[in-house]
Structure 1
């Protein structure tokens, strides 16, 4: 089994390690880190949805309406028949007022707890990454992690290497090229995973989907997401040309799709700035309460890429410019 790179998302980065940042395809030794990053992102979505629901207009309309009705029932008799000066010296009124305050706190806590139940479906989404990693990474990461990082090491682990075993191993390494990780101080801090989208591909277009994009939050403002998106452009073109040259597809259109949630406003803003457009907005198949009451939807964002060879050079220039944003990583702790 390959020795895993430091996959912990809790432990701080070791600042005694040389401050070097580099990109790597998915290898067996990076399997656990890639899995943890994507699961962490999906669990973070649950927290973000909880905040979105709690601070929504509908939630506070419910809270304030409930508290207002209760306050009216408890305090109306005092306010209607007594002056303000008399009220502040009325111990019964003060007692009821304090009780209303406790009721407000209780109602707020209850609504927040109830609201968090509406986001529970996202926990299942996070668990799906663990139980069905092949859908996201193209390989079963539990099995992939048990392999060696290169062919020479893999051959050493087998006394009698069968041709089929070698072919499967090489195919897994090839699938690993569809996932890109960013490693800083020998610790993976970002990942993006691509997969050919057969559901949306047809004779007219070839579609590649981003199955996951995650950056450790401490580096969220370092421009790493843009770097990974730019890498996705290059890799999508490679996949397109590979399929096109082998006669698998005939379409001349290449598109990248990314399915996100409507409450991911920061990600939406970044995609807009990169030229992406909203393609579809659909109701949730699960989490229907969050969808019906709080307007949460699944969105598909997309971008059409030029597959002419001359664009490759332009893409490399964009990647170079984007990577220049990351110099500030060396000064982070």
Structure 2
């Protein structure tokens, strides 16, 4: 028979994160967070166990952006203009029969009487408008989906290289892969709540090309880039994204300050010790109004507004027509005199 102490310990036991045979935290973002896990929220760098989850969060962020694009297309003024044009063409060919208005008759009663008189014409017209509108929306939504699916596919094919600066699969297979590349590990901030990664940010700083470390000629850019900023949808209004952007700003300051230290903490960890970060850069799309507000509140300024590239996907030109743009935001990173 167990003692009172053993029974008490058993009553407060909580579940621990499940790991697969590669030592990766298993997360199913289609399920709610485990309510039995400890209600602890923590901020961690790119630990080995969370590398697969970090890549998944980045991809999930792209999927959320795709969904915002579809919402933008649905509510775009183009949709209203299309409905007006289709309606005018239809009712020009199928004119309504307007009954005379009785003097004491109310407006709503008069409109209802005419609607009943022309119910077949109005019904067919509404169906016609609905079909044309649905086909147009679906067509533009498919182009939007193709655009972001292409980006997601590219990230998957290269195992996150363009986002993290290294092949994430190598880190998943070898937990010591980043031992001499700690700058890359610490350029990632993951928010974990109840053992579940719920948000992340990835910062790309002036580092050596990890995949080609022996290259003698490497162009040095004095800019840091937020290559991924993602959060599970249910926590978007919690302020986590603002905290993550502030973390990126502080990270740039810390890296700059380290250059002036006698014993440089970054030496030997794939960073140019004599190169300061002058600006922090982040890209949004013109329909990401929440992120745009966040950028302004965080001190970023809009530096560039550019159309989508149409070289690989010609149909992106239609997204350009309805005003989809890439917005490049920048903020100056202070440095010591």
Q: CA deviation at 1:143?
A: 2.1
Deviation at 1:146, TM superposition (A): 1.7
Deviation per residue, 1:293-333 (Å, 9 max, x gap)? 11111111011122349xxxxxxxxxxxxxxxxxxxxxxxx
* Contact kept in structure 2, 1:87 and 1:93, CA below 8 Å: no
Alignment equivalent of 2:227, drawn from 177, 199, 211: 211
Given that 2:178 and 2:184 are in contact with CA atoms closer than 8 Å, whether structure 1 keeps it comes out as no
Moved more, 111-120 or 232-241: 232-241
Pair 1:100–1:38, CA change in 2 (3 A):
same
- Check conservation: 1:139, 1:172, Cα contact below 8 A: no
What is the aligned counterpart of 1:298 among 326, 334, 337? 326
Q: 1:147 to 1:254 in 2, by over 3 A?
A: same
Check whether the contact 2:222–2:279 (CA below 8 A) recurs between aligned residues. Answer: yes
Distance 2:282 2:227 in 1: 7
Q: Determine if the alignment matches structure 1 residue 33 to structure 2 residue 53.
A: yes
- CA-based RMSD of the aligned residues comes to 2.9
Deviation digits for residues 147-193 of structure 1, max 9, x if unmatched? Answer: 23xx5xxxxxxxxxxxxxxxx54235542211110000000000100
1:24·1:180 contact (CA, 8 Å) conserved in 2? yes
Alignment of 1:270-309 (within 5 A): 270-286=294-310, 287-291=316-320, 293-308=321-336
**CA pair 21-88 structure 1, distance change in 2 beyond 3 A:** same
- 1:51-200 counterparts in 2 under 5 A? 51-76=71-96, 78-79=97-98, 83=100, 88=113, 93-119=118-144, 120-132=146-158, 133-148=160-175, 168-196=177-205
Work out whether residues 226 and 280 of structure 2, in 8 Å CA contact, stay in contact via their aligned partners in 1: yes
* Inter-CA distance 276–174: structure 2 relative to 1 (3 Å threshold): closer
Inter-partner Cα distance in structure 2 for 1:274 and 1:181: 20
Matched, 1:229 2:245: yes
Gaps of 5+ in 2: 1-20, 102-109, 208-217, 311-315
Matches of 1:190 and 1:180, distance apart in 2: 8
Measure, in 1, the Cα distance between the counterparts of 2:257 and 2:317.
Answer: 40
Rounded Cα–Cα distance in structure 2 between residues aligned with 1:89 and 1:267: 48
Q: Is the 8 A contact 2:302 2:327 kept in 1?
A: yes
The total of aligned residue pairs comes to: 284
Partner Cα separation in structure 2 for residue 253 and residue 210 of structure 1: 13
Cα shift at 1:7: 2.4
Q: Aligned partners of 2:152, 2:142: CA distance in 1, in Å?
A: 15
Q: Work out which of the residue numbers 62, 70, 92 in structure 2 matches 1:42.
A: 62
Q: Per residue, is there more helix in 1 or in 2?
A: 1
Secondary structure of the structure 2 residue equivalent to 1:18: coil
Is contact 2:161-2:168 (8 Å) kept?
Answer: yes
Q: CA deviation at 1:250?
A: 5.5
User: Is the partner of 1:143 in helix, strand or coil?
Assistant: helix
TM-score of the superposed pair, with normalisation by structure 1 = 0.76
TM-score, reference length from structure 2: 0.75
- Residue of structure 1 in register with 2:283 after alignment: 259
Regions of 4+ moved over 3 Å: 82-93, 171-174, 238-253
Structure number with greater Rg is 2
Measured after TM superposition, the shift of residue 196 of structure 1 is: 2.2
Looking at structure 2, the residues matched to 45 and 95 of structure 1 have their Cα atoms a distance apart, in angstroms, of 41
Show the counterpart of 1:158: none
